Amino acid sequence: MEDGHKKLATQYLEEEANAVGDEGGTDHEAEDTKGSGSFFAKRVKKIDTAKMEVNCFLADQSEELQMVLAYRRIRKVFLKVNCILPTSAPSERLFSRGRLILRHNRMKISDKHFESQLLLCVNRVF
């Protein structure tokens, strides 16, 4: 993958992982202590766990689909992006082909002959 495409894909994955991460859990916080016991020396900084998870996922060498399950946010993004929506287009195509086969001049065709003609017509591509 080209560097530009890889950078865009990583950025998209980080944004989606952040959006998914905001729904459920909270990010971890760590104290950054510099200096003595002064109140102002302690700062709480937020660790970007979504970015760390994306980096770990991208660094993982496994190519199995099961590796997605190991990363909570990545799994949610995967399910959001890779789920196909059901469609009725294949059945509508089949009915359209059936209408082309069963015309006025072929009304007395038997069911078995109609089915074989329809399958031959539809599977012609294969």
Q: pLDDT at position 39, please?
A: 54
pTM (2 d.p.): 0.46
pLDDT, tens only, 83-110? 777 788 888 988 999 998 988 888 889 9
pLDDT, tens only, 9-47? 888 888 888 887 655 444 444 444 445 555 555 444 444
Other beta carbons within 10 Å of 16:
19
The residues, ordered by sequence, that sit 6+ positions from 78 with a Cβ below 8 Å of its Cβ are: 68
Specify which residues 45 forms β-bridges with: 30
